[in-house]
A and B are shown apart, each in its own frame.
Chain A
Amino acid sequence: MKLIERLFFLTLLLPSGLWAAADGNHTSREIADVVFRDLDKTLGVISLDLHGGIYVGNTCKTCGDPALSYYHQVIEMTGMLSNATNWRGIIQEGKVKGIGFVNLGAFEHRNVYHGAFMHPDNPDVETRRDILKKAQDLRTRKSGAIDYIVQPGQSAYNLQTKYFTYGDDNTGPVTDENIKRMRSDAFVEYCYASAYVPIMPYDLTTEGGAASLMYLAARGMLPSSQQFNMRSSQTDGPTLTINGAPVGDIETGPKYDFNIQDQKSGAGILKISNEDGAVVYSSSVVLMKNGLIQTSNINAAHEFSLTTADGMEPGYFHAAAYDHAGNSSQNFNFKIPELTAININSAKDVLYNNLRGFQPWPLPLLNALIPLKFSNPSRASRRSA
Chain B
Amino acid sequence: MLAGFLTIYTLSGLAYAQQAPAKTETPGVKAEIEVLISKAEVSQKDPLKLNDAINKILDYGLYNKSASQATKSDVAARLVKIYNSLDDTLINTANKKQIIEFLGSRNKVPEAHEFFLSVLENGKGQYRAEALRAIYFGGIPGDDIYDKVKSLVARGIIKEEESLGSLKGANPQRALPEIQKFLATTKDPEWFVGIGHLLYYYKDPSLLDVLFQRYDYFKGLPASAWPEGYDPTLCISTEMLMKYIEVNEGVKLKKALEVFEDSGVFGNRKLPVLQKKLESANLATRKAATEFLIHQTEIGSVSRENIAPVLKDAEARETDKDLKLRLKSALKKLGPRVGGKK
Contact = CB atoms under 8 A, between A and B. Distances in A.
Contacts of A161: 59
Contacts of B104: 168
Contacts of B264: 129, 133, 294-298
Contact of A155 (B52, B97, B201): B52
Interface in A137-177: 137, 139-144, 151-155, 158, 161, 166-171, 175-177
A302 B228 CA distance: 27
Contacts of A228: 2, 5
A349 interface: no
B223 interface: yes
B137 to A, nearest CB: 5
Contacts of A211: 16-17
A301 B238 contact: no
A93 B92 CA distance: 12
Interface string A177-204: 1101000000000000000000011100
Interface string B58-79: 0101110100000000000000
A383 interface: no
A212 B62 contact: no
A346 interface: no
B197 A143 contact: yes
Contacts of B139: 168-169
Given A4-B15, A126-B268, A299 B238 contact: no
Contacts of B228: 290-291
Interface stretch (B277-285, B298-306, B315-323): B298-306
A130 interface: yes
B262 A296 contact: yes
B300 A302 contact: yes
Contacts of B106: 168-169
Interface in B287-342: 299-301, 303, 335, 337
Interface stretch (B30-38, B187-195, B207-215, B246-254): B187-195
A126 B91 CA distance: 45
Given A152-B90, A211-B16, A178 B300 contact: no
Interface stretch (A35-43, A44-52, A56-64, A214-222): A214-222
B131 to A, nearest CB: 12
B107 to A, nearest CB: 9
A243 to B, nearest CB: 12
A296 B5 contact: no
A295 B265 contact: yes
A213 B12 CA distance: 10
B299 A141 contact: no
A201 B10 contact: yes
A170 B60 CA distance: 13
B29 to A, nearest CB: 16
Interface in B84-120: 90-95, 97-98, 104-106
A355 interface: no
A208 interface: yes
A93 B90 contact: yes
Interface residues of B, number: 79
A178 B136 CA distance: 9
B162 interface: yes
B230 to A, nearest CB: 6
B136 A144 contact: yes
A315 to B, nearest CB: 29
A377 interface: no
A329 to B, nearest CB: 16
A1 interface: yes
A155 B97 CA distance: 14
B226 interface: yes
B59 to A, nearest CB: 6
A90 interface: yes
A143 B164 CA distance: 7
A137 to B, nearest CB: 6
A221 B13 CA distance: 11
B5 A129 contact: no
A211 B10 CA distance: 13
A292 B13 contact: no
Nearest to B55: A158
Interface stretch (A5-13, A105-113, A271-279, A365-373): A5-13
Interface string B229-242: 11100100110000
B16 A215 contact: yes
Contacts of A291: 228-230
A168 B90 contact: no
Contact of A90 (B9, B90, B165, B190): B90
Given A168-B137, A176-B197, A177-B197, A153 B12 contact: no
B171 interface: no
A167 to B, nearest CB: 6
B200 interface: yes
B161 interface: yes
A301 B300 contact: yes
Contacts of B20: none
Contacts of A8: 8-9, 12
B234 A154 contact: no
Contacts of A28: none
A299 B301 contact: yes
A267 B214 CA distance: 33
B263 interface: yes
A253 interface: no
A303 interface: yes
B48 A4 contact: no
B51 to A, nearest CB: 6
Given A4-B15, A219-B12, A295-B265, A177 B161 contact: no
Given A177-B201, A218-B62, A126 B17 contact: no
Contacts of A102: none
A154 B195 contact: no
A178 B137 CA distance: 6
Interface of B: 1-2, 4-6, 8-17, 19, 48, 51-52, 55, 59, 61-63, 65, 90-95, 97-98, 104-106, 133-134, 136-139, 161-162, 164-166, 190-191, 193-195, 197-198, 200-201, 223, 226, 228-231, 234, 237-238, 261-265, 267-269, 299-301, 303, 335, 337
The 6 nearest A-B residue pairs measured at CB: A142-B194, A296-B264, A153-B94, A143-B165, A212-B13, A291-B228
Interface of A: 1, 4-5, 7-8, 11, 19, 88, 90, 92-93, 101, 126, 129-130, 133-134, 136-137, 139-144, 151-155, 158, 161, 166-171, 175-178, 180, 200-202, 208, 211-216, 218-219, 221, 225, 228-229, 244, 267, 290-292, 294-303
